[in-house]
Amino acid sequence: MKLDVILRIGVKLILPFLLLFAFYVHFHGEYGPGGGFQAGVMSAAMVILYGLIFGIDAAKRVVPQRFVELLIPIGVLLYVAAGIPAFFEGHRFLDYGVLSDDAVQGRVLGVLIIETGVLITVAGAMTAIFYAFAERGRG
């Protein structure tokens, strides 16, 4: 356990930048490449990297398994919720124009909301799959 000091310190240095980059990819998805999906994968990769180096129990203390499993349906529900308000204004499902007085502003807001939904579901699903495999591996 003493020999992996470089890995431990290196991972500790990388993790905050990984999370920052994930958020950059998420919020910058409207301007550059990337979006909720890629940001979700990066957030999950951060937890997985932490779990690989510091052990699965340490990772579960930071990001509890129950919380991760809850994220999976929450993201889908958030996505669907962004589409519901259109019904009350007589528009079609997922027509985000109604989310704001200005139709274009509403669509920008809608894109951000559904990308956040994608991020939450992807990050939750990837981390939950990793936890499930790691738990099973202990047999």
Partner 1 sequence: MEAFVNAVLLTLLAVVTVAVIRQRSMFGVVILAGIYSFLMASVMVALDAVDVAMTEASVGAGISTIVFLATLHLTNTRENPRPRNVMLPLFVSGVVGAALIWGTFTLPPFGIADAPIHMHTVPHYLQQSIRETGVPNVVTAVLADYRSFDTLGEVTVIFTGGIGVMLLLKGRRRRQDRNGGISGT
Binding residues (CB under 8 A) for partner 1: these are 25, 29-35, 37-38, 41-42, 44-45, 48, 52, 69, 72-73, 75-76, 79-80, 83, 93-94, 96, 104-105, 107-108, 110-111, 114-115, 117-118, 121-122, 124-126, 128-130, 132-137, 139
CB of 19 to partner 1, least distance (A): 14
- Which of 62, 103 has the CB closer to partner 1? 103
Yes or no: say if 71 and 129 are a contact pair by the CB < 8 Å rule.
no
- Which of 2, 95 has the CB closer to partner 1? 95
- Which of 16, 73 has the CB closer to partner 1? 73
CB of 6 to partner 1, least distance (A): 20
**In sequence order, which residues have a C-beta less than 8 Å from that of residue 139 and are 6 or more positions away?**
none
Give the span between the Cα atoms of 114 and 93, in whole angstroms: 13
- Which of 90, 137 has the CB closer to partner 1? 137
**Number of helices and strands (H, E) in the chain?**
6, 0
- Which of 63, 110 has the CB closer to partner 1? 110
- Could you give the angle at the alpha carbon of 84 between the alpha carbons of 100 and 43, nearest 5°? 85
CB of 33 to partner 1, least distance (A): 4
CB of 114 to partner 1, least distance (A): 6
Exposed / middle / buried, residue 138 (Cβ in 10 Å: 0-12, 13-18, 19+)? exposed
Give the span between the Cα atoms of 81 and 6, in whole angstroms: 45
